[in-house]
């Protein structure tokens, strides 16, 4: 046995013990839903054409939502996509679009490289013959819908060697303010300053333009596309009404639920708890109350997008409960992994009864605990489980709006 095999197995077991599967565990356990895997692969086949909207998956705590998103992440990386996983939290509220984008950029990864995804993409298009010119041509068309600042950046990519300007460009693409003074100076040095109108652009407009520009940049750099996976979306159920309404609209934007909002080379999916549609959307009458609220604010398009997101959540594919065959297959895979991790021949674990509230996470952690007790203390343990219930009580800490943010116009 190679030492690397034992290290990989130990990482997998520790991740499963914590209930947060990593890439090592995901590769050993495979995809929990073959239908979703096929659907995802088909979406990646057409990601450049923006013909397929994203989708939502639903399941209770511990049923495998995060594992599924992790598997989709590995599958997308294997297809040479740039992949970003965004976990909704207090620090990453879905109600503030810029935060979601910045987090997606910060978490963007590619297969076989530790470099920042933006840095890597810019380097690759500079080294690919015709890539920058092709992207410049696209950026200059009305269909691209982006400001001249992006065109100026592309012009200077292969014509400027200023490292400070390059760093400022990368920061801007990640979510910083446009580096207008250094851009103007560089363009003036090249005697093309008058070709680009670098007038200020509203922050909200720049955000949407970045969302259109970056997938094109990734594809021009030779990547298959940009995949964004939104996890723990159910946290928006604890937002205040306005923040929840804005979060729905943001989900619709990322998933491309409205045909006009679909972005070539970008595909997204999200995961939510299986009781969310009833406990929040239906119980709080979000479909009428929140859309009315957005229309009264003079944002009918956001209202339409929010409604699409709610309907996508209601139509989410529910992860099925594991059957006996699933449990036996997973137990065998994890037993082999555990034996490799500790150099100890783990015996078959007690599968346990299949109950409605007993999730795959319960089974897996129970098996690992049984083996731990037997290996360390020689005790055959019985595991007592508790069930975590969803909590959609409004939380003031999650409804705070940062200073200077008034929501979309």
- Say if residue 281's pLDDT is above 80: yes
Order of strands, sheet of 82-87, starting from the edge strand that comes earlier in the sequence? 82-87, 226-231, 266-272, 55-58, 317-318
With contact defined as beta carbons under 8 Å apart, do 312 and 255 qualify?
yes
The confidence band for 240, taking pLDDT boundaries of 50, 70 and 90, is very high
What digits encode the pLDDT tens for the residues 85-97? 999 999 999 999 8
With contact defined as beta carbons under 8 Å apart, do 103 and 92 qualify?
yes
What is the pLDDT averaged over residues 332-340? 94
Strands (E), 71-142: 82-87
> What Cα–Cα distance (Å) separates residue 253 from each residue in 147, 246, 306, 308, 344?
20, 11, 9, 10, 50
- Say if residue 405's pLDDT is above 50: no
- Say if residue 344's pLDDT is above 80: yes
Return left, alpha or beta for 222; rule: phi > 0 is left, psi -120 to 50 is alpha, else beta: left
Partners of 272 in beta bridges: 58
pLDDT at position 2? 56
pTM listed for this prediction: 0.87
pLDDT at position 399? 61
Backbone angles phi, psi at 357, to 5 degrees: -100, 10
What is the pLDDT averaged over residues 306-314? 98
pLDDT at position 113? 84
d(CA 121, CA 101): 17
The H or E element containing residue 272 is strand 266-272
Partners of 113 in beta bridges: 110
With contact defined as beta carbons under 8 Å apart, do 78 and 26 qualify?
no
With contact defined as beta carbons under 8 Å apart, do 294 and 35 qualify?
no
Per the model's pLDDT, the better-predicted residue between 390 and 219 turns out to be 219
Nearest by Cα to 277 from 81, 59, 101, 96: 59
Q: How many Cα atoms within 13 Å fall on the side-chain side of residue 359?
A: 18
pLDDT at position 404? 42
Partners of 228 in beta bridges: 84, 268
pLDDT at position 402? 45
pLDDT at position 353? 64
pLDDT at position 260? 86
pLDDT at position 322? 78
What digits encode the pLDDT tens for the residues 101-113? 999 999 999 998 8
Helices (H), 275-359: 276, 286-296, 300-314, 324-342
The confidence band for 62, taking pLDDT boundaries of 50, 70 and 90, is low
Per the model's pLDDT, the better-predicted residue between 375 and 114 turns out to be 375
Q: How many Cα atoms within 13 Å fall on the side-chain side of residue 320?
A: 11
Strands 266-272 and 55-58: parallel
pLDDT at position 403? 44
What is the pLDDT averaged over residues 155-167? 88
Instruction: Kindly state the tokens that stand for 103.
Output: 């987090």
Only one residue has tokens 């690992």, namely: 368
3-state SS record for 176-211: CCCCHHHHHHHHHHCCCHHHCCCCCCCHHHHHHHHH
What is the pLDDT averaged over residues 26-36? 86
| Rg for the chain, CA atoms, rounded | 24
Instruction: Kindly state the tokens that stand for 199.
Output: 């007038």
- 3-state SS assignment for residue 315: coil
Instruction: Kindly state the tokens that stand for 9.
Output: 């197995």
pLDDT at position 409? 41
- Say if residue 295's pLDDT is above 50: yes
d(CA 363, CA 355): 11
pLDDT at position 22? 85
The mean pLDDT value of the chain amounts to 89
What is the pLDDT averaged over residues 232-248? 95
Nearest by Cα to 173 from 229, 250, 120: 120
Nearest by Cα to 158 from 184, 185, 122, 116: 122
The confidence band for 381, taking pLDDT boundaries of 50, 70 and 90, is low
CATH number of 34-110+223-319: 3.40.50
In the DSSP assignment, the letter for residue 280 is: I
The confidence band for 382, taking pLDDT boundaries of 50, 70 and 90, is low
Instruction: Kindly state the tokens that stand for 35.
Output: 């239908």
- Say if residue 23's pLDDT is above 90: no
What digits encode the pLDDT tens for the residues 346-362? 999 887 665 555 678 88
pLDDT at position 378? 87
- 3-state SS assignment for residue 382: coil
| % of the chain with per-residue pLDDT over 90 | 67
What is the pLDDT averaged over residues 123-133? 91
Return left, alpha or beta for 167; rule: phi > 0 is left, psi -120 to 50 is alpha, else beta: alpha
Domain ranges of the chain: 1-17+323-399, 34-110+223-319, 118-212
- Say if residue 53's pLDDT is above 90: yes
pLDDT at position 400? 55
């Amino acid at each position: 046995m190679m030492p690397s095999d034992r290290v990989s197995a130990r990482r997998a077991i520790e991740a499963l013990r914590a209930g947060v599967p990593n890439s090592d565990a995901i590769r050993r356990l495979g995809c929990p839903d073959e239908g979703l895997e096929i659907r995802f692969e088909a979406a990646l086949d057409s990601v450049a054409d923006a013909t397929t909207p994203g989708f939502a998956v639903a399941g209770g705590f511990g049923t495998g939502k995060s594992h599924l998103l992790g598997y989709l992440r590995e599958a997308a990386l294997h297809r040479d996509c740039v992949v970003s996983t965004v976990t909704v939290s207090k620090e990453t509220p879905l109600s503030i679009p810029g935060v979601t984008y910045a987090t997606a950029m910060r978490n963007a990864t590619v297969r076989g490289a530790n470099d920042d995804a933006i840095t890597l993409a810019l380097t690759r298009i500079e080294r690919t013959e015709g890539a920058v010119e092709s992207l410049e041509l696209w950026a200059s068309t009305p269909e691209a819908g982006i400001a001249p600042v992006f065109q100026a950046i592309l012009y200077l990519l292969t014509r400027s060697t200023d490292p400070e300007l390059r760093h400022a460009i990368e920061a801007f693409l990640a979510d910083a303010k446009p580096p207008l003074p250094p851009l103007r100076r560089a363009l003036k040095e090249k005697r093309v300053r008058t070709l680009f109108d670098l007038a200020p652009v509203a922050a909200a407009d720049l955000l949407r333009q970045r969302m259109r520009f970056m997938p094109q940049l990734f594809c021009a750099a030779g990547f298959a596309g940009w995949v964004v996976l939104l996890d723990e979306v159910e946290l928006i159920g604890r937002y205040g009404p306005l923040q929840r309404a804005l979060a729905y609209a943001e989900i619709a934007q990322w998933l491309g639920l409205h045909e006009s909002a679909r972005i070539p080379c970008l595909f997204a999916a999200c995961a939510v708890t299986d009781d969310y549609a009833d406990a929040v959307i239906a119980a709080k009458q979000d479909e009428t109350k929140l859309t009315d609220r957005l229309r009264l604010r003079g944002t009918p398009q956001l209202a339409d997008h929010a409604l699409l997101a709610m309907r996508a959540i209601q139509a989410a594919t529910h992860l099925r409960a594991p059957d006996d065959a699933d449990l036996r297959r997973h137990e065998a895979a994890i037993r082999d992994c555990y034996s490799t991790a500790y150099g100890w021949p783990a015996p078959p674990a007690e599968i346990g009864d299949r109950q409605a509230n007993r999730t795959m996470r319960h089974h897996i952690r129970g098996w690992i605990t049984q083996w731990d007790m037997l290996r360390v203390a020689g005790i055959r343990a019985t595991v007592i489980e508790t069930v975590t219930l969803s909590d959609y009580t409004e939380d003031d800490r999650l409804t705070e709006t940062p200073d200077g943010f008034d929501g979309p116009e």
